[in-house]
């Protein structure tokens, strides 16, 4: 074999190797998938897997659909709606109800899942009486997604649905919005790793009244909406359902009731925001 031919073959080999590494590097970068569930948007971001070439996005969508069918108050045929009409709870619903009741006890009633009638009265839930899991449901669903990802061998991920976020084994920077209903401005960044966060606030679902800002967040002691200027509290915990429930509890009762096991960040409205 001539020297020229050897050089050509060597260059071809290098080109093929570089091409392989380029494709491999691309597929092992950061990829995202998004969808709709539970009345809001969800987003999955992963390192080390190409979501475009996998079944993971469809699996996540199917999983969220399952839990929405279990916990929705808006679907008349959901497990929860049937339970609120007096039918037995399904095994999946029993699991969520048990967790919700445990959180009600842990928060000394600041979080209370038995507020469907009261939330309806202020205009943020369908007509009915009984259990409303909206203050823990998205966090619970996020935990189930994280479990599924880990079972599929995906450990470096960030999953977000509305104000609920859960991170895998490596660190991710998560932006926290200001409690400003007129925009979506990130004012704080939190490094999240193997933990979850949830934000509760009155600046997205609200109505301005003579009494003040009325929102979907109910104080169980009064059965009425918590009245305060636009504000928000973000809670970081080991799982998203716990963060979700405690975020509601702290918004209702104040950060002084927070246990040592959670981290919280309270935000007041920016100066330009009219909370009257």
Asked if pLDDT for residue 132 goes beyond 90, the answer is yes
Quote the pLDDT of residue 269: 87
Quote the pLDDT of residue 148: 98
Quote the pLDDT of residue 125: 94
Coil vs helix vs strand at 274: coil
Output the average pLDDT for the chain. 90
Alpha carbon of 113 to those of 48, 125, 130, 215, 238: distances in Å?
38, 13, 8, 16, 21
In contact, 193 and 172? CB cutoff 8 Å: yes
Which domains can be identified in the chain, with CATH numbers?
A: 30-267 (3.10.520.10)
Other beta carbons within 10 Å of 220: 19
Between CA 118 and CA 168 the distance in angstroms is 36
Asked if pLDDT for residue 3 goes beyond 80, the answer is no
What is the tens place of the pLDDT at every residue in 137-164? 999 999 999 999 999 999 999 999 998 9
Taking the alpha carbons of 218, 244, 249, 236 in that order, is the dihedral positive or negative? negative
Quote the pLDDT of residue 28: 53
Name the DSSP class of 89: P
What is the tens place of the pLDDT at every residue in 62-72? 999 999 999 99
Quote the pLDDT of residue 274: 78
What is the tens place of the pLDDT at every residue in 29-72? 899 999 999 999 999 999 999 999 999 999 999 999 999 999 99
**Vertex 242, ends 35 and 88: CA angle to 5°?**
80
What is the tens place of the pLDDT at every residue in 212-265? 899 999 999 999 999 999 999 999 999 999 999 999 999 999 999 999 999 999
């Amino acid at each position: 074999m001539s020297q020229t031919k050897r050089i050509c073959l060597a260059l071809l080999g290098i080109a093929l190797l570089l091409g392989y590494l380029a494709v491999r590097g691309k597929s092992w970068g950061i990829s995202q998938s998004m969808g709709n569930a539970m009345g809001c948007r969800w987003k999955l971001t992963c390192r080390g897997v190409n979501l475009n070439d996998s079944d993971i996005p469809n699996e996540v969508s199917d999983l969220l659909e399952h839990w929405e069918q279990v916990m929705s108050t808006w679907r008349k045929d959901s497990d929860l709606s049937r339970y609120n009409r007096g039918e037995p709870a399904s095994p999946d619903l029993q699991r969520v109800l048990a967790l919700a009741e445990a959180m009600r006890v842990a928060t000394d009633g600041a979080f209370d899942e038995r507020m469907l009638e009261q939330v309806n009265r202020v205009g943020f839930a369908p007509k009915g009486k009984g259990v409303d899991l909206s203050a823990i449901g998205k966090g619970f669903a996020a935990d189930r997604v994280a479990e599924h990802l880990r079972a599929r061998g995906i450990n470096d991920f960030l999953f977000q649905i509305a104000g609920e976020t859960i991170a895998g084994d490596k660190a991710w920077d998560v932006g926290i919005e200001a409690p400003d209903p007129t925009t979506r401005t990130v004012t704080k960044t939190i490094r999240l790793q193997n933990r979850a966060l949830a934000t509760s606030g009155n600046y997205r679902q609200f109505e301005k009244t003579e009494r003040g800002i009325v929102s979907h967040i109910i104080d169980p002691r009064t059965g009425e909406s918590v009245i305060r200027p636009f504000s928000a509290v973000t809670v970081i915990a080991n799982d998203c359902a716990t963060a979700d429930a405690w975020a509601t509890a702290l918004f209702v009762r104040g950060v002084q009731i927070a246990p040592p096991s959670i981290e919280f960040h309270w935000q007041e409205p920016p100066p330009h925001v009219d909370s009257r």
